[in-house]
């Protein structure tokens, strides 16, 4: 995820331009602008599509894609992100999501989910966590909302 210019967390992306021949072409262009040239080592394809959500404005639909990266690809993106075209403008920095819960039952992902997210980014994060492409040892995630408070639990199979 990334810290946006407005202080909210979200995923890289943007609008499809007239020169983009598909949603995926637009997304890959936006990824290069926001994350730098290291994203050229992979391409987000139609098979990476997860869901769509109505945006806040008229004629705006947010399409969510999730791509599994190798550790080497992730480190290359993180290293090069500060040299991206939009770094310091649209993007203030990358943020790793803690996919765990601390022993106190609060720290980690449950606390991370209390941050401010843009649009449907929080729900998209939960969707990606539940449906992949995440590590296979993450079996299930349960989210319960009562009175505006969220509780989140990750369960791993016994070793």
pTM of the model: 0.77
Cα-based torsion angle of the residue sequence 39, 28, 24, 93 in order, rounded to the nearest 10 degrees: 90
Kindly state whether residue 12 falls inside one of the protein's structural domains. yes
User: What is the pLDDT at residue 155?
Assistant: 45
Kindly state whether residue 122 falls inside one of the protein's structural domains. yes
Kindly state whether residue 156 falls inside one of the protein's structural domains. no
Calculate mean pLDDT across residues 14-39.
93
User: What is the pLDDT at residue 144?
Assistant: 43
User: What is the pLDDT at residue 154?
Assistant: 44
Number of domains present in the structure of the chain = 1
Query: Does position 61 have pLDDT exceeding 70, yes or no?
Result: yes
Kindly state whether residue 85 falls inside one of the protein's structural domains. yes
Distance CA(93)–CA(54), nearest Å, equals: 26
Domain containing 108: what range? 2-147
């Amino acid at each position: 995820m990334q810290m946006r210019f407005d202080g909210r967390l979200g995923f890289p992306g943007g609008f499809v331009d007239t020169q983009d021949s598909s949603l995926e072409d637009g997304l890959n262009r936006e990824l290069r602008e926001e994350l730098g040239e290291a994203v050229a080592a992979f391409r987000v394809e139609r098979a990476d599509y997860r869901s769509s959500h109505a945006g806040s404005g008229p004629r705006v639909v947010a399409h969510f894609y999730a791509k599994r990266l190798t550790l080497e690809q992730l480190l290359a993106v993180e290293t090069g992100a500060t040299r991206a075209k939009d770094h310091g403008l649209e993007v203030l920095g990358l943020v790793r999501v803690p996919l765990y819960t601390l022993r106190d039952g609060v720290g980690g992902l449950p606390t991370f989910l209390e941050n401010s997210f843009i649009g449907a980014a929080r729900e998209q994060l939960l969707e990606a966590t539940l449906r992949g492409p995440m590590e296979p040892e993450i079996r299930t995630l349960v989210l319960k909302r009562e009175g505006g408070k969220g509780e989140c639990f990750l369960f791993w199979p016994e070793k």
